[in-house]
Each structure stands twice: as structure tokens, then as C-alpha cells.
Structure 1
């Protein structure tokens, strides 16, 4: 089955784990907790690696573990993040890690985007084996 999930999430905790100043950039490592609303309902934990430059462009990569429901199907899965900004434009993408789905989400694949405008909004296009 092919599906489309949308909704929002709240960042419920942000912990700075490490920061390192380098010539031209600051590198960081962070642990984030989230609560999801909408077609995804549940919680997640995320580890990200960040880079910020003095002129403002930034980027991050990360991995996230989600636990909850996707359109009412219960389970867990992992997401891989990639994001950057430049000249006021930003993009944030995520991809479901293949074979990471458990429970009723076993076999889940797909990818999506995150938009940080008036909160955090997600879009996830996915494929899930029929029940």
C-alpha cells in the first residue's frame, strides 16, 4: 500500500552533547526528543551532527527512532535526516531506513520533508506491505 502522511511535531527536549569550534565553522552533536501529531502519532529520539558557519549557512545529518502509529498501524522505524540552509533557503529531508520497521510497520519504506515555519510540519510518502 502506498500512503501519504502529514502532520506536525513538537521538540520536547534538546540537549547539546558536544560543541567544537573550528576555523570557519562550529560543529555540534545534539540529542532531541519529539512528540508527533497527525498521521504519525507517537514519540521519537534523534541524534544529529551540526555545522554552522559565521555567515549563517548551516547543515545537519542525523538518525531518528520513531515509536507510535502511522495511520493507526503500530510499530517503530528509523529515519535518516539530511538538511541545509543557504541564502535564506532551507531544505530538510528524511528517509525511512529500509528494514527498520517493526510490528505493524514491518517492511515500511519511503521518504519525506520537514518544514520549520510556524512550528514543525512533516510530509512522508511511504510504501507499506498490505496487512
Structure 2
């Protein structure tokens, strides 16, 4: 059985990076930063791409340092 950790995080950054349009649909890209505390501590950043309606979101990369 694997180990289990619990903790919390604080959103420390939400920065729009770029927008683009493909095949008539607009997409926005955002950089999100978090601080983690508890059983897992550190910082994390991911890039999120969302369509203009907000119905589809994709995490492009996630880095935990």
C-alpha cells in the first residue's frame, strides 16, 4: 500500500499569458502558481488552456519544486 499525505495549498499567482483563435474558437492560456503546506510542501506552477466558453480546460504542464 502506498503512502498518503494531506495538506493544503494557497493560490499565489494567476497570470494570463496569451490568447489565440483556431477554427473559429478562442482559447486563453493562463499561468497558475501555488504554495503547498502540510504533508507535501513546496511550490507548483501549471499552464492552463481554456476555451472561450469555459467548458474545456487542459493542463499543459505541471511542475512541483
Q: TM-score w.r.t. structure 2 length?
A: 0.72
Q: What is residue 12 of structure 2 aligned with on the other side?
A: 12
State the match for 2:33 in structure 1.
Answer: 33
Runs (5+) with no aligned partner, structure 1:
68-131
Preserved contact between residue 44 and residue 64 of structure 2 (Cα < 8 Å):
yes
Q: Which has the higher contact order (CA 8 A, sep 6+)?
A: 2
Aligned residues between the structures? 64
Computed over aligned residues only, the root mean square deviation of the Cα atoms, in angstroms, reads 2.1
How far residue 35 of structure 1 moved from its aligned partner, in angstroms, is: 0.3
- The answer (yes or no) to whether the contact 1:48–1:60 under 8 Å persists in 2 is yes
TM superposition score normalised by structure 1: 0.41
Say if 2:55 is the partner of 1:57. yes
Q: Please tell me whether the aligned partners of residues 28 and 49 of structure 2 are also in contact (alpha carbons under 8 angstroms).
A: yes
User: Where in structure 2 are there 5+ consecutive unaligned residues?
Assistant: none
Q: Measure the CA separation in 1 of the matches of 2:27 and 2:38.
A: 33
